[in-house]
Amino acid sequence: ARVAILISGRGSNMAALIEASRAPSCTYEVALVFANVPDAAGLETAAAAGIATAALDHRGHGGRAAFDAKVLDILRTHAIEYVALAGYMRLLSDPFTAAWEGRMLNIHPSLLPSFTGLDTHARAIAAGCRLAGCTVHFVTPDLDCGPIVAQAAVPVLDDDTPDTLSARILVEEHRLYPAALNALCGGRLRIDGQRVLGLDPR
């Protein structure tokens, strides 16, 4: 299946998704990396890996819906079938999420439904959580609230800072996201209300 990865920054999850796509058994190919930040570091990483890239600054398009419509055009031009958000720091308009319903994933650095939004690691530490982690979920109009596909947990240590906790979680993100996308593009996932069935995490 042809996948587009949407990024805004360094793109370490993007790189992990690209790397995993090289396996012969992988069900997806990364057909495009798109960024709303033209100098996002991940664009160079993608180009160096031989992946097609596109960028469009989100500013100056007359609003969120108008910008999203242009992104939709770009994805259609590249015959994209599935979308993986990977550090894409834009809220999405309803028409955009509707266009990709059941075909768009995001990775979020917390154990959802705890800690939607930003600063998840600092908030998990401040709340005294002994476990933290990451979640791959389907994207719906409500930010970070779509059906959960896969999660991984790590311990929170007494001397953790947001940076050390983030680094521990990122290792799990890079493992979890390719597995989830592979399952989706292989037709293995079934959405049943807020539950997603079909991904065996063992």
Binding-site positions read 11-13, 64, 89-92, 106
**CA dist., res. 86 & res. 199, Å (int):** 20
If one counts every other C-beta atom within 10 angstroms of the C-beta of residue 168, the result is: 17
Taking CA atoms, 19 is separated from 2, 32, 183, 189, in Å, by 15, 14, 16, 22
Q: What is the largest CA-CA distance in the chain?
A: 49
Nearer to ligand GRF, 11 or 178 (CB): 11
* Token pair recorded at residue 39: 């100098």
Nearer to ligand GRF, 6 or 184 (CB): 6
CB of 62 to ligand GRF, least distance (A): 27
CB of 21 to ligand GRF, least distance (A): 15
In 3-state terms, what secondary structure has residue 41?
helix
Closest of 123, 86, 92 to residue 107, by C-alpha? 86
CB of 173 to ligand GRF, least distance (A): 5
Site for ligand GRF in 156-195 (CB under 6 A): 173
Interface with ligand GRF by CB under 6 A: which range of 11-19, 64-72, 95-103, 181-189?
11-19
CB of 180 to ligand GRF, least distance (A): 12
Which residue number is nearest to ligand GRF in terms of Cβ?
87
Strand partners, 34: 6, 54
**Residue 184 parent element (H or E):** helix 162-185
Quick one: which of 4, 93, 109, 176 contacts ligand GRF (CB under 6 A)?
Answer: 109
* Token pair recorded at residue 49: 């890996």
Active site residues: 108
If one counts every other C-beta atom within 10 angstroms of the C-beta of residue 143, the result is: 13
Quick one: which of 6, 28, 87, 129 contacts ligand GRF (CB under 6 A)?
Answer: 87
Quick one: which of 4, 34, 46, 108 contacts ligand GRF (CB under 6 A)?
Answer: 108
Interface with ligand GRF by CB under 6 A: which range of 72-80, 90-98, 107-115, 187-195?
107-115
Quick one: which of 1, 2, 12, 55 contacts ligand GRF (CB under 6 A)?
Answer: 12
Taking CA atoms, 140 is separated from 67, 99, 143, 157, in Å, by 18, 11, 7, 33
Return residues touching ligand GRF (CB under 6 A).
7, 9-14, 86-87, 107-109, 134, 173
